[in-house]
Structure 1
Amino acid sequence: MLAKRSVLVASALAALSLGTVTAMAAPASAAPNTTPQKVCGSGYKTVNSAPVGSLGTVYLTYNSSNGKNCVTTIRNTPGTAVDMSAWIYVPDTDQGDDDSGQYTSYAGPTYVYGKAHCVSWGGNISNINVQVNNSNCSALKESRVTFTR
C-alpha cells in the first residue's frame, strides 16, 4: 500500500511540475481580444500601422468600396481602463474624426473619406503617443513621431 501511495504522490508531483513548466512557457502577454477589422468593419483592410511602444498598435485601414479610412488603437493586453485615443485627419479636405477616453481594449473606430488623399493619423495608450503625417500617398513623404507626454 505504501508503494502505491508513493507512486501516486510521485505521479502527482510530476504532473504538477509539468503544469508549472507549461504555464511558465506560455507567452507573457495575451493576444488582443479584437482586430482592426472587428472594430472598423469587415470591408476594411489594414494598409498601415504604427506601434505604440510595447503597449499596442495604431492601425490605418481602408475600405475600397466606400473610399473611407478607419483608425483604431488596440492594446496588446487588455486590462484596466487607461487613457487611449485614435484619430484621423485629411488635410486637403479639413475633415477628421477622433475618439478618446478611458478604455480597456481599444479606441475607435474613427472614419474619414480618404480616397486619393494623403491622411494623417495616430493614437495613444497611456502616456505614449504616435502620430503619422502624410501617410499613404505618393505626393509627400510620410513622417512618424512617437512621444511621451
Structure 2
Amino acid sequence: MRSIRNVAAVGAMTTLLAGATAVFGTTASAAPNVTPQGVCGKAYKTVNSAPVGSLGTVYLTYNAANGKNCVVTIRTSPGAAKAMSTYVYVPDTDEWAGDDGNFTSYAGPAYVYGKGHCVSWGGSIANVYVSVDNSNCASLKEHRVTEIR
C-alpha cells in the first residue's frame, strides 16, 4: 500500500510540475522588453539612435567609465527570426565589432573603445539597412543613410 501511495504522490507531483511548466513556460517564452541597457549593460547610456524603417531601431550607447561604445539593433515587434545585423566602427583606430544572423528580437551587442573618437555605426532588419557615419564628434557632421534592398 505504501508503494502505491508513493507512486501516486510522484505522479501527482509530476502532473503539478508539468502544469506549472505549461503555465509559466508561456510567460517565460513571451518576448522580453528589450532595451539597449538590457543588452549592452546598465552602465551604458544611449547617446544616439536611428530608426530602421518601421521595423526597429539601432542604438549607439556609451559607457563613460570604460570609454566603450556599444551598438544594438532592436526590433519593434519581436517574433519569428529575421535577418538582422549591427556594427560599430572607429575610423581613427580601425577597430570594429559587429553581429549578424537570424534573430527574434535583437542583434548585438557590439563593443569598441571609442573615447575621444568619431564612430560609424548602423544595423539592419530584413531588407532595411541604416548607417550613420562620423557620429558623436564635434569636428565632423554626421551622415545618415537608410537603404531598402
- Say whether the fold is shared (TM-score over 0.5): yes
Check whether the contact 1:118–1:134 (CA below 8 A) recurs between aligned residues.
yes
Question: Shift in Å at residue 32 of structure 1?
Answer: 6.8
Runs of at least 4 residues off by over 6 Å:
none
SS in 2 for 1:43: coil
1:90-109 deviation digits (Å, cap 9, x = unpaired)? 00000000100000000000
- What's 1:109 paired with? 109
Superposition deviation, residue 130 in structure 1: 0.2
Aligned match of 1:90:
90
Q: Counterpart amino acid of 2:133?
A: N
**1:33 Cα deviation from its structure 2 partner:** 2.2
Structure 2 unmatched ranges of 5 or more: 1-30
* 2:39 match: secondary structure: helix
Confirm whether residue 52 of structure 1 aligns to residue 60 of structure 2.
no
Residues 1:42 and 2:42 aligned together: yes
TM-score, normalisation: structure 2:
0.78
Matched to 1:141, the amino acid is K
Contact 1:33 1:78 (C-alpha < 8 Å) held by counterparts: no
How far apart are the structure 2 equivalents of 1:76 and 1:139? 33
- Structure 1 length normalisation: TM-score? 0.78
- Look up the match of 1:68: 68
Distance 1:100 1:66 in 2: 25
Q: Distance in 1 between matches of 2:46 and 2:108?
A: 14
RMSD: 1.1
Give the aligned length. 119
Identity fraction in percent: 71
Distance, in Å, in 2 between the alignment partners of 1:106 and 1:39 is 9
